[in-house]
């Protein structure tokens, strides 16, 4: 299936953050999961790490990113590369919604601060 039609609405919501699965194994991809994430201003960050590298591309808004204790800001068109096993967090850095495209190899998991693994349902 070379073209995977875009969903008409977000597929998952966690508080004020919305995830839209774009290309995932359940939607027809086999090696890479791609989704859109929208983070509302004021949404608190969730410190976690990943078992695989994850890439974000900022489409709208501005992101404040902390990776391995280093804080930076990313704007429209910037890519954020989060290495595996590095603690990180991302928040909306302006008064507008932060919208990003995210890519991660299939099978990647998040590991929360308490050590519990989490398989993002928007990546399945």
Contact 113, 47 (CB under 8 A): yes
pLDDT score recorded for residue 118: 86
Position 1 scores a pLDDT of: 57
Determine the Cα–Cα distance for residues 116 and 40; give it in Å rounded to an integer.
25
Question: If the chain, 124 residues long, is cut into consecutive pieces of 10 residues, what is the mean pLDDT of each piece?
Answer: 86 92 93 96 93 97 95 98 96 96 95 89 89
Rounded to an integer, what distance in angstroms lies between the CA atom of residue 53 and that of residue 48?
A: 13
pLDDT confidence of residue 85? 96
State residue 16's pLDDT score.
93
* Domains with residue ranges and CATH for the chain: 41-123 (2.60.120.10)
CA–CA dist 44, 109 (Å, integer): 20
What is this structure's pTM? 0.92
- The distance from CA 116 to its chain's CA centroid, rounded to whole angstroms, is 18
Identify the pLDDT of residue 27: 92
Query: The tokens of 29 are what?
Result: 């991809």
């Amino acid at each position: 299936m070379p073209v995977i039609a875009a969903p008409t609405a977000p597929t998952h919501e966690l508080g004020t953050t919305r995830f839209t699965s774009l290309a995932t194994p359940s939607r027809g991809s086999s090696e890479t999961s791609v989704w859109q994430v929208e983070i509302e201003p004021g949404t608190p960050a969730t410190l976690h790490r990943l078992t695989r590298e994850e890439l974000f591309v900022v489409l709208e808004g501005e992101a404040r990113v902390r990776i391995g204790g280093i804080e930076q800001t990313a704007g429209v068109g910037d890519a954020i590369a989060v290495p595996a096993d590095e603690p990180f967090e991302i928040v909306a850095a302006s008064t507008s919604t932060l919208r990003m495209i995210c890519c991660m190899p299939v099978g990647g998991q998040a590991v929360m601060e308490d050590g519990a693994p989490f398989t993002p349902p928007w990546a399945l």
